[in-house]
Chain A
């Protein structure tokens, strides 16, 4: 075993060297987000009564409970100020850990760099061990730094520690999840995708579980993100719940090593089957479809399932409203229809943001095909540059549109089945399609950066995260309006869709087109830079 681990230390140092900015930047960002939220909430709700009222509103609003969970101690400042970061922050953190763990395992293997390293004195299990060490270390450091930040802004130290450790344990759990997904498939893209599906599934499980009448139900307890909520930091500090993610880690890590031991370098668990001796790909568009197809289909299936699930919840949202005052307010605002509209709008907006992530990943094919040298092979043929770039841009734009169509149909169908009334399907689908242009803008941004500063194409991910964070916390942090308006998602329509939504949608579409055009101009002028 010791020889299998030889070189782990060197690999850990290599990973830290490669990721020193990425890791330290993200860790700081997460810790600072908690501090900002806590101090801003204290300003916003100075008295206990204010906080109780705010907490009651959140607890009785289904879309908020589905998104963020419940507040288990309405009087607690900590519980109120960190409600958005408990589940949602843990999900973001989990995505980060999945990306980091795959980056140092399967991605290295796929690129062939690991082979270079494996030739040296590096044991069979060293790369996986090193990736886990880096992920676990980053999670713990992030948790402790968060605890420190929360204590520094004046929250109770017990709750601060519980919250920090809850994040640390969730981060560790998803590092271990990615350690397993990295063994299963031969592609880093698929390994990250599987990890993200795990994050999405656990997030949705707890959303459904939290919405149950006397929630949280069993479903919340099946989800690592749900466990993070059930630690109930600042609302009881249930330390024993931290054992659940640690137990999951203890189960997944040996599994990852077992899977690694059963396969060869570069191989997945599923052996490659032979392909056709003659190809039917007629051109770059066929090739793009082929390259995008696998990921697209898995996203479409996920959207179908979760869309239907979310749609079926829309009618149950009124059950959460217990206080007569709230019922009164809602009736005056437009009745239960308005309540379920608000719920569906919130869900569709989130799906729209998630689809933007698909669009960014799909448009990033431009850059990854260039760095791998695939683009060089194609551009040395009679393929013009613009035709090649169009194949991937179009695949991204079309993928976004189809995914939101699937999402709209699934949400609408889920709602219709529960209500025995299909009259809502049309407007739900229209609203879902209304989220398309904002996601196009993000894909267009990838094309623009690709055309002029190809090395920074990945930075669009950071922009997406910034828009998400601004959308969630901008108001709380008193961010200037113009800054928040930069996010394309702000301009996407909500239910009920009206004629006032047409102009913003046209502007978003024009922005996406402009960004793509700018990218094309740069791409046609610049060197191929693998």
Chain B
């Protein structure tokens, strides 16, 4: 244990994975994946469904055995030293399954004890924050509430590293905002967070750096500003009369018009002029949403790479 600690302090990489390869039968879930997460950062781990995010996290947890490559977690070997390393991390699985007969409170306390004990005030604070009733039997929880149980159990743990696999997938927008507050607190406290997501805006709001995974490889990694070029907002508007020349506004792309409906992909600097133009044209409804990762991939990487692989 002392040896592990000394390696750990000499390195500021909490996760250091190089050339990870993992196959399930004939499908290659990880195909030479590299991932580095530095101490104290919130690292967004982005990729479409089935890209290999969950597989990577399971490898880092020692639940899956690597076919090739090396993985270091908190300075240790995630396969051999799984149980010792887990003492220093907290995990929220992507698909939270709870024991139907146990109450939420029982599950939270059990998971806490298995980690060496929760701080009771932290636990109660997060229960309140997420507005979760701990006396209900797990079978009666919705997907979102099951996720809250796992989140409370993980956040109440005093850990160095938090591995969160699509933690907001079942949360309503209000709790999602609370969750973001929690993650920021963790970072301010000097903890490391690896946050897997397929929602770009979520990673954008929280991450210091992101890695983008596709078909079992990391295709982009770096600080968010560098990847800012990836983000475009999708805008759909109903107008009384369609104005001319929308596609000539800088930063506005893929303009399509159907009857009175206009849709377009817009970079940040194109939003204001577009909305102005639409407003002048008698705007009736306006919806805008950040593009999904899948759309981004189609645009930036094409569909040339081999078919989707992976498990999650």
* Residues of chain B lying within 8 A (CB to CB) of residue A380: 61, 63, 86, 91, 93, 163
Say if the beta carbon of B46 comes within 8 Å of chain A. Answer: no
| Contact indicator per residue, chain B 58-100, by CB within 8 Å of chain A (1) or not (0) | 1001111100000000000000001110110001010111111
Given A374-B97, A378-B114 in contact, is the A276-B106 Cβ separation under 8 Å? yes
Q: Across the interface, which residues of A come within 8 angstroms of B82, CB to CB?
A: 379, 384-385
Query: Mask for A268-290, Cβ within 8 A of B = 1, else 0?
Result: 00001111111111111011001
A274 to B137, Cβ gap below 8 A?
yes
**Chain B residues, CB < 8 A from A280:** 106, 109
Q: Which of A50-58, A222-230, A424-432, A522-530 contacts B (4 or more CB under 8 A)?
A: A522-530
CB distance from A470 to the nearest CB of B (A): 35
Closest beta carbon of chain A to B222's beta carbon, Å: 28
A266 within 8 A of B: yes
Selected contact of A281 from candidates B91, B97, B109, B140, CB within 8 Å: B109
In the complex the two chains form, is A186's CB within 8 Å of B65's CB? no
Is A376 part of the binding interface, using a Cβ–Cβ cutoff of 8 Å? yes
B256 at the interface (CB under 8 A from A): no
In the complex, A470 Cα to B140 Cα: how many Å? 45
Q: A335 interface residue, CB < 8 Å from B? A: no
- Using A374-B97, A527-B65 as known contacts, say yes or no to A279 and B91 having CB atoms under 8 A apart: no
For A380, give the chain B residue with the smallest CB separation.
B91
Contact B100 A281, beta carbon cutoff 8 Å: no
List A contacts of B91 (CB < 8 A): 380
What total of chain A residues lie within 8 Å of the partner, measured CB to CB?
Answer: 39
Q: Write the A354-396 contact mask toward B (1 if CB under 8 angstroms, else 0).
A: 0000000000000000001110111111111100000000000
Contact between A275 and B84, CB atoms less than 8 A apart: no
CA distance A351 to B110 in the complex (A): 36
Given A380-B86, A382-B83, A528-B64, A279:B102 Cβ within 8 A? yes
B106 touches A373 (CB 8 A): no
* B101-116 Cβ-contact flags toward A at 8 Å (1 or 0): 1110111111101111
User: A279 near B97 (CB under 8 angstroms)?
Assistant: no
Contacting residues, chain A, for B65 (C-beta < 8 A): 525-527
Say if the beta carbon of A74 comes within 8 Å of chain B: no
Contact A187 B135, beta carbon cutoff 8 Å: no
Task: Give a binary string over A96-138; 1 marks a CB under 8 Å from any B CB, 0 the rest.
Answer: 0000000000000010000000000000000000000000000
| Smallest CB separation, B116 vs chain A (Å) | 6
Tell whether A381 pairs with B97 under 8 Å between CB atoms, given A274-B137, A279-B108, A527-B64.
no
- Counted as pairs of residues, one from A and one from B, with CB atoms less than 8 Å apart, the total is 117
Q: Would B114 and A276 count as touching, CB distance under 8 A?
A: no
Using Cβ atoms and an 8 Å threshold, which residues of chain A touch B110?
A: 279, 281, 283, 286-287
- Chain A residues contacting B95 (CB-CB under 8 Å) are 373
Instruction: Assess whether B136 is interfacial by the CB under 8 Å rule.
Output: yes
Cα separation A30 to B272 with both chains bound (whole Å): 75
Note all chain A residues with C-beta closer than 8 A to B137.
Answer: 272-275
Distance (whole angstroms) from the CB of A380 to the closest CB of chain B: 4
Q: Does A291 belong to the interface (CB within 8 Å)?
A: yes
Contacts of A379 in B (CB 8 A): 61-63, 82
How long is the Cα–Cα vector from A147 to B105 in the complex, in angstroms? 57
Q: How far is the CA of A378 from the CA of B82 in the complex (A)?
A: 12
Bound together, the chains give a CA A384 to CA B79 distance in angstroms of 11
Residues of the B chain whose Cβ atoms lie less than 8 Å from the Cβ of A291: 99, 101
Instruction: Bits for A489-529, please: 1 = Cβ < 8 Å to B, else 0.
Output: 00000000000000000000000000000000000011110
B97 (CB) vs chain A CBs: closest residue: A373
B171 to chain A, nearest CB (A): 18
The CA-CA distance from A294 to B114 in the complex, in Å, is 23
B269 within 8 Å of A by Cβ? no
**Which residue of chain A lies nearest to B116 when distances are taken between CB atoms in the complex?**
A382
Chain A residues near B105 (CB-CB < 8 A) = 275-279
Decide yes or no whether B32 CB sits under 8 A from chain A.
Answer: no
Cβ contact within 8 Å between B102 and A290? yes
A276 to B106, CA, bound (A): 7
Q: Is B251 an interface residue (CB 8 A)?
A: no
- Distance in Å: Cβ of B159 to nearest Cβ of chain A: 11
Docked pose: A277 CA to B103 CA in angstroms: 7
Say whether B150 faces chain A, with CB atoms less than 8 Å apart.
yes
Distance A384 CA – B102 CA, assembled complex (angstroms): 22
Indicate if the CB atoms of B136 and A527 lie closer than 8 Å. Answer: no
Interface residues of A in 313-331 (CB under 8 A from B): none
Separation of A290 and B100 alpha carbons in the complex (Å) = 12
| Of A110, A186, A382, most B-chain CB atoms within 10 Å | A382
By the criterion CB–CB under 8 Å, are A279 and B139 in contact?
A: no
**Distance of A290 Cα from B134 Cα, bound (Å):** 18
**Interface on B for A, CB 8 Å cutoff?**
58, 61-65, 82-84, 86-87, 91, 93, 95-103, 105-111, 113-116, 134-137, 139-140, 150, 163
Q: Which 4 A-B pairs have the closest CB atoms?
A: A275-B103, A279-B106, A279-B109, A373-B97
Between A and B, 16 residue pairs with Cβ closer than 8 Å are: A275-B103, A276-B106, A279-B106, A279-B110, A280-B109, A283-B113, A283-B114, A373-B93, A377-B111, A380-B91, A381-B86, A381-B111, A381-B114, A383-B83, A525-B65, A526-B65
List 16 other contacts, CB 8 Å, given A274-B137, A381-B115, A383-B86. Answer: A186-B100, A275-B102, A275-B105, A276-B103, A276-B105, A277-B134, A279-B102, A279-B109, A283-B114, A373-B93, A376-B63, A377-B96, A377-B97, A380-B61, A382-B83, A383-B83
Chain A residues in the interface with B (C-beta under 8 A): 110, 186-187, 266, 272-284, 286-287, 290-291, 294, 372-374, 376-385, 525-528
